[in-house]
Amino acid sequence: MQIHAFQKLIEELYLAKDRERGLPGTYMWFMEEVGELTRDLRRGADREHLAGEFADVFAWLVSLATMSGIDLERAALDKYCAGGVPGHAKDRAP
């Protein structure tokens, strides 16, 4: 599945609820998920559990992007593929 398709799926599943909550409330849920991921990384949680936490963080990030009118796949491609990776050695002047 491409990022764009995943963003559409999350939009279909959660956009109405996220809009009711608003951007600030949705951001707070996103940060809660980031906190859970941080805790589990520190505790050395198993890979399967971490995968679920990473997926949760990604889903909430996608929701925030959708609510902000951002196509996350396009944004990532534009920033990291079209003109090189910012801060990468090949992009620095000699």
Is the residue at 88 inside a domain? no
The whole model's pTM is what? 0.85
Interatomic CA distance for residues 69 and 82, integer angstroms: 20
Place of tokens 């990604």: 58
Interatomic CA distance for residues 75 and 7, integer angstroms: 12
Number of domains forming the structure of the chain: 1
pLDDT at 93: 47
First to last CA, the chain: 39
Q: Reduced to 3 states, what is the DSSP secondary structure of residue 83?
A: coil
CATH number at residue 55: 1.10.287.1080
What is the H or E stretch that residue 57 is in?
Answer: helix 47-67
Could you read off the pLDDT of 11-33 as tens digits, one per residue?
999 999 999 999 999 999 999 99
- Domain carrying residue 49: 22-82
pLDDT at 88: 60
